[in-house]
Amino acid sequence: MTDVLIAVALFLVAATATAAVLNREPLRQALVLSFLGLALTLLFTFVQAPDVALSQLAVGSAVTPLMIVLTVGKVRRGSTSREHSIDDDDDDGGEGDVGDAGDAGEEAR
């Protein structure tokens, strides 16, 4: 019976790891990574390694996906604020480039 449980857990680990690799969106990857952590926790429990299972449950299923989600959120928020500041700099009506070239021409005369 234990061999069957280990085989099922190994299949779950292989399936969730493959799903994590094939996902392209980081938030979905974090969710699948959480399920991978749970599958690994089951596997470690079935092979009589409860200390490793508890560590995997805490780190692999909760902390790591949470860090990924927070990082992706911060990066996306930072890129939108940068895009707005670039757009604000470009909306000066073209006066900066023309005015600078005109001033340099007047100084040369």
pLDDT in tens, 32-82: 999 999 999 999 999 999 999 999 999 988 999 999 999 999 998 887 766
- Mean pLDDT is lowest, of 15-19, 50-54, 77-81, 95-99, for 95-99
Residue 6: other Cβ atoms inside 10 A: 14
pLDDT above 80 for 9: yes
Q: What is the pLDDT of residue 35?
A: 94
Q: What residues contact 56, with CB distance under 8 A and at least 6 apart? A: 37, 40, 41, 44
Buried b or exposed e, range 61-96, using 16+ CB within 10 angstroms = beebbeebbeeeeeeeeeeeeeeeeeeeeeeeeeee
Token duo for residue 39: 């599958």
pLDDT above 90 for 92: no
pLDDT above 70 for 91: no
Contact by Cβ (8 Å): 79, 49: no
Q: Whole-angstrom Cα distance, residue 62 to residue 22?
A: 21
